[in-house]
Homo-oligomer: A and B are copies of this chain.
Amino acid sequence: MLSVKTPEEVLEIINKEFDFSMQPEEVSIFEASGRVLAEPVISEENVPTFNRSTVDGYALAASDTFGCSDSIPALMNVKGQVLMGEDGADIRLGIGECAYVPTGGAIPEGADAVVMIEYVEDYKDGTVGIQKPIAPGGNIIFKGDDVFPGKEVLPKGRLLNSADIGALAALGILKVTVSPRPLVGIISTGDELVDIDETPKDGQIRDVNSAMLSAFIQEAGGSARMYGIVQDDEAILRAALEKALDECDMVLISGGSSVGTKDATCRIIEEKGEILLHGIAMKPGKPTILGKADGKPVFGLPGHPVAAFFVSRLFVSAMLRKMLGQTSALRTVSAQISEAVSANHGRAQYMGVTLSEKEGRTIASPVHTKSGLITSLAGTDGFFCIDRDCEGLSAGSEIQIITF
């Protein structure tokens, strides 16, 4: 019998014991939001692509302005005006010449600075007076200042969002190489399970986990394939697990309330690999198994939907991130707990919360339920952990919420 692991140890096992090398795929940037980069994106271009002005003003040679002032402006001939969307190189400036350039406009040849319009007096006769000297490079962003060929724009493992897509478009990158969506097989076991559309008799329960886990896998960037409800029978379970292992990248078996089913699950995994943990020191979620079969992760999740939910959010999602090569961590939100929570000994305890705003603070209200059934999580916004060493939290304590 393997010992029970702490949540931290489980994350370590996931990190150490598994090594995925899934074939990356190329997708259009129009379909890339929410996908994870399998390779870094390296620019082949400069940003900006030309020297441009950061202000509305007059482009000129900075040396022409040295020594000028309010009272003794530098007199310059206006050679023209750069329009947005036009090629600034049409104008060439010599000594004593300048050109009007709008913000973002191209800097004409011969200019190495732009004087803001506030410091220029227009004499309306084709000449202007510059009232303030400027240093070379002033108010110009040069070609390649932000991005240059060879620069890494986005790292491998980045979960792409619409701002990233915008940056890719700006660089002329139409396709990116991303990790494939892991295919996750879902098996529900237990003689007490009935389909969702049936009315359970006393002692029976609906197969909540298939629907919930399938939705969760999609939220976490995978694809789900369901293998239905499997009765508590070793031969049937073996056939289902073998099929799922054959077709999928990871398998979740939930339930198996009978000791026989748990044991059968372990036996089948051990034939094809090994059991890595048998029990997690958390509440709810203790009766969790993690194994490796044919090199693929197999989770034996608790049948209790709330327990299966927390284990999935914490550990199945960590496995998915590892498969995807996703580098970003779970993002948490700081909140004040609305009421005192009593101490918890020996096991990390997870509790659902609803979030609200009060005087600019985020308030987390723990959800109370007598049953601990999955309906208690309906309408919640996230959850938090009461550490196993925690001696209780007073009302108003700062806690970290993992949001849904």
Contacts and interface: CB of A to CB of B under 8 A. Distances in A.
B174 A88 contact: no
A164 B201 contact: no
A107 to B, nearest CB: 10
A192 interface: yes
Q: Which of A29, A211, A214, A304 has the most CB of B within 10 A?
A: A211
A404 interface: yes
A379 B352 CA distance: 31
Contact of A206 (B86, B170, B199): B170
A210 B162 CA distance: 11
Contacts of A190: 85
- Copies of this chain present in the complex amount to 2
B30 A214 contact: yes
A219 interface: yes
A369 to B, nearest CB: 6
A212 to B, nearest CB: 3
B172 A380 contact: no
Given A170-B375, A172-B196, A334-B333, A161 B219 contact: yes
A158 B191 contact: no
Q: Which 4 A-B pairs have the closest CB atoms?
A: A85-B192, A166-B212, A167-B378, A162-B216
Given A89-B202, A163-B212, A334-B334, 14 more contacts: A49-B202, A85-B190, A146-B369, A146-B375, A164-B378, A165-B211, A166-B374, A169-B210, A169-B211, A170-B305, A173-B196, A328-B381, A331-B355, A333-B333
